[in-house]
Structure 1
Amino acid sequence: MSSFTNLLITYFRDYNIWFLSILIMLGSVGIPTGACLIVLASGAFAYAGEFNIVVLFLQIWFFSCIGDIISYILWKLLGHKFLNKSLRLRTYFHPKIIKAQDYLEKHGKGTVFFTRFLISAMGPFVNAAAGIVEYKLVTFTLFIALGDLLWSCMYLGLGYWFGDSWESIVPIVTQVAEFFTCITILVISIYFFIKTIRSNKKNVNTK
């Protein structure tokens, strides 16, 4: 592990869940904090008896949900103000916002759910998109709660399961997360590429 990760673990052991909650919430708005690895480590510390695993799980789940909701609200309140500051920005992003709105209306539930745990690197981007297009907060909250539940179980459970050997699985967990992120980006790119081609064909046929 890097010296930065070791430093985060030291702070976590000193300040417990309050420090971890800050890492989790900052990660929800797109700041890379290494929260996943600290949650993994916290599971191992719970195995060693330093924390109550049930209480720790509930705390991590709670702050994960709060972080995602805060991210959503921030983008909902500030996103349009930011874009409206510049005509160039508004012109550039407006078609993309319309596409994001259409996509979330059709696939929003699954997208919000799976970007909590399976492809968590995409989570902050989905939070931003959902906030800007004003996706239904009740639906958003429900599916982040379900997704964050699995995220908390997965990382905390892995740390608890491997106990003192938790550091040995860090490279595997990191590589798996990167793999799923790359596959998702590829699938989304192919989806929009095919959709664009079909749209162009329809426009040609209607002329």
Structure 2
Amino acid sequence: MTSWALNLLGQYGAPLLGLITLASCLALPVPASLVMLTAGGFAASGDLDLPLVSAAALAGAIFGDQIGFFLGRGGQSALYRLIDRYPRRAAILTRARDLLQRGGGIGVFLSRWLFSPLGPYVNFAAGAAGLNWLRFTVWGAAGELVWVSLYVGLGYGFSHNIAAVAQFAGDISGLLAGLALMLVTGLWLRHVVREHHRKETANL
């Protein structure tokens, strides 16, 4: 799948990149981050236009987010029946819902790039939970801008060693995701403790 996508990228460029980022936002198994890195490398060598591939990747991601959101909103029961058949995906959806409940718009933003494996499921969960569409769209678009800028930019800046950059990006993404999860959990626990303390004080 990866070799096929990378070979076609040089031929079809921006339109293919847009389709790949769209598909990734619907939880389809496509190597979106690697393809964006490669597109950035092609842009550095002059084979692709940097603004065009960046815009295509961003547009595809935002459009994919919107499809996922409205699938979640319009087909809640069908979505949960489907996911219940696959325990692994059910677990991912649960994590996505937890992130959304703890962070709201910030959760949507972080799931675009820092917790990117959760992104498609946050889309579904946001729609199913009735999250405000404008809030979802603004935070989602901001997160997708970070995601696209990060990967296309790394590919452009380190075009001579895409494989090493891909490995580094994967490692640093995992590290940052862990740190961010600790931070979000800590903030949530602090909020719970404060609420508990406030209720106890009010009852005195």
Fold shared per TM-score above 0.5? yes
Alignment partner of 1:133 out of 113, 118, 129: 129
Given that 1:43 and 1:158 are in contact with CA atoms closer than 8 Å, whether structure 2 keeps it comes out as yes
Equivalent residues of 1:25, 1:67 under 8 A apart: yes
What aligned pairs does 1:92-131 form with structure 2 within 5 A after superposition?
100=97, 104=101, 107-131=103-127
What is the alpha-carbon distance in structure 1 between the residues aligned to residue 187 and residue 172 of structure 2?
Answer: 22
Residues 174 and 42 (structure 1 numbering): CA distance in 2 closer, same or farther, change over 3 Å? same
Q: Does 1:31 align with 2:28?
A: yes
The change in CA–CA distance for 1:80 and 1:41 in structure 2 (over 3 A counts) is same
Q: Does 1:18 find its partner at 2:15?
A: yes
Corresponding residue for residue 164 of structure 2: 168
Map of 1:178 onto structure 2: 174
CA 1:15/1:155 → structure 2, altered by over 3 Å: closer, same or farther? same
Q: Quote the offset at 1:60 in angstroms.
A: 1.2
C-alpha deviation, 1:40, in angstroms: 0.6
In the TM superposition, residue 82 of structure 1 has moved relative to its aligned partner by 4.2
2:57 aligns with 60
Equivalent residue for 1:90? none
1:121–1:81 CA distance, 2 compared to 1 (3 A):
closer
Unaligned runs of at least 5 residues, structure 2? 83-89
Q: Are the aligned partners of 1:44 and 1:161 in contact in 2 as well (CA < 8 Å)? A: yes
Maintained 8 Å contact 2:112/2:143: yes
The answer to whether residue 52 in structure 2 is matched with residue 50 in structure 1 is: no
Q: CA deviation at 1:18?
A: 2.4
Structure 1: which 5+ residue stretches go unaligned? 86-92
Instruction: Report the residue type matching 1:49 in the other structure.
Output: G
The 1-side partners of 2:143 and 2:180 are apart by: 17
**132-141 vs 160-169, which moves further:** 160-169
Q: One-letter code of the match for 1:78?
A: G
Aligned pair partner of 2:72 in 75, 98, 123: 75
Whether the 8 Å contact between 1:122 and 1:181 is mirrored in structure 2 is no
Shift of 1:164: 2.0
Question: What TM-score, normalized to structure 2?
Answer: 0.76
Aligned residue for 1:146? 142
Structure-1 separation of matches of 2:5 and 2:130: 34
Q: Deviations over 1:41-79 (max 9, x none)?
A: 100100000111112211111111111111111111112
Off by >3 Å, runs of 4+ in structure 1:
81-85, 100-104, 180-195
Name the structure 1 match of 2:86.
Answer: none
Q: Percent identity?
A: 22
Counterpart-to-counterpart distance in 2, 1:178 and 1:148: 18
CA pair 126-50 structure 1, distance change in 2 beyond 3 A? same
TM-aligned CA deviation for residue 31 of structure 1: 2.1
Contact 2:14 2:52 in 1 (8 A): no
